[in-house]
């Protein structure tokens, strides 16, 4: 069965520091998708990125970057120059095939950015 | 464009009661999915509806049910509430089922069962 592990339960950083959120997954599938979501205090999940298993290119979007390494089954998320607005719970998720029923979430990492 | 709306935002019930939660998707979206978020089990898929039909259901007991109306609005119902049903219930909408990269989530309904 698929499994997503976010070992970091809570992280605190001072504003402007860089922070990396770890995500490790287990699977025997060859085709799958990996996601990151942000859940601010308001509650809704905000989609950040989806990568498919055949695309190991790192991605950068503003202060956000993602490092996907199949060799270590990891899909880590780095926030550069963190800001207070980055404070949220971040979820890594795995999707086999397509469909909400195939979407499995990690337990989340609560990030607190201290001004 | 208005986002996904969920009502009510907060709800307090007692064991044994039943509850109905509502979700209005983004205009034009016809697929609605529901998730339960608890501290112990994390985020888990509940149901997925498209064109008034339940396409998928997660591993939840029959006390959890749902439906979708012709205007794509969806409701979920939990009967005979248990303490463990206390959770944040999130609804997400997308144009088509399976569009997990373009599904938008609502703010959730926080249900507390006493």
The confidence score (pLDDT) of residue A1 equals 65
Spatial separation of the C-alpha atoms in residues B43 and B63, rounded to whole Å = 18
Q: What is the pLDDT of residues A49-65, one digit of tens each?
A: 999 999 888 899 999 99
Q: Which residues of A touch B110 (CB under 8 A)?
A: 43
Q: Which residues of A touch B35 (CB under 8 A)?
A: 100
Closest approach of A105 to chain B, Cα-based (Å):
6
Q: Which residues of A touch B105 (CB under 8 A)?
A: 44-46
| Chain B CB within 8 Å of residue A98 CB | yes
The token pair at A90 is 């971040």
Closest approach of A91 to chain B, Cα-based (Å):
9
Closest approach of A43 to chain B, Cα-based (Å):
5
The confidence score (pLDDT) of residue B2 equals 77
The torsion of the CA quartet B60, A104, B85, A44, rounded to 10 degrees, works out to -130
DSSP string, A13-47: EETT--EEE--EEE---SSEEEEEEEE-TT---EE
Q: Which of B43, B48, B52, B20 is nearest to B32 (CA)?
A: B48
Q: What is the pLDDT of residues B7-43, one digit of tens each?
A: 999 999 999 999 999 999 999 999 999 999 999 889 9
Band of residue B1 on the pLDDT scale cut at 50, 70, 90: low
Residues B33 and B87: beta-carbon distance below 8 Å: no
Spatial separation of the C-alpha atoms in residues A89 and A82, rounded to whole Å = 14
Spatial separation of the C-alpha atoms in residues A91 and A21, rounded to whole Å = 9
Spatial separation of the C-alpha atoms in residues B4 and B23, rounded to whole Å = 7
- Residue of chain B whose Cα is closest to the Cα of A94: B100
Residues A36 and A66: beta-carbon distance below 8 Å: yes
Inter-chain CB proximity A46 and B105 less than 8 Å: yes
Q: Which of B26, B88, B41 is nearest to A104 (CA)?
A: B41
Q: What is the pLDDT of residues B92-106, one digit of tens each?
A: 999 998 888 889 999
């Amino acid at each position: 069965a698929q499994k997503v592990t976010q070992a970091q339960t809570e992280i605190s950083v001072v504003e402007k520091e860089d922070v990396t959120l770890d995500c490790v997954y287990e699977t025997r599938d060859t085709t799958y998708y990996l996601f990151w979501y942000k859940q601010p205090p308001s509650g809704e999940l905000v989609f950040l990125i989806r990568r498919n298993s055949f695309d190991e290119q790192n991605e950068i979007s503003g202060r956000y970057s993602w490092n996907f390494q199949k060799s270590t089954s990891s899909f880590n998320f780095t926030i550069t120059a963190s800001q207070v607005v980055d404070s949220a719970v971040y979820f890594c998720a795995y999707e086999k095939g397509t469909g909400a029923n195939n979407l499995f979430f990690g337990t989340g990492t609560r990030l607190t950015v201290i001004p | 464009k208005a986002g996904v709306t969920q009502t009510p935002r907060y709800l307090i019930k007692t064991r044994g009661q039943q509850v109905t939660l509502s979700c209005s998707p983004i205009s034009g979206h016809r697929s609605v999915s529901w998730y339960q978020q608890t501290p112990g089990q994390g985020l888990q898929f509940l149901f997925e509806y498209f064109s008034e039909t339940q396409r998928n259901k997660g591993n939840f007991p029959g006390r959890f049910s749902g439906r979708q109306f012709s205007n794509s609005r969806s409701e979920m119902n939990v009967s005979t509430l248990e303490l463990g049903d206390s959770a944040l219930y999130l609804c997400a909408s997308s144009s088509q089922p399976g569009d997990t990269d373009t599904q938008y989530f609502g703010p959730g309904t926080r249900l507390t069962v006493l």
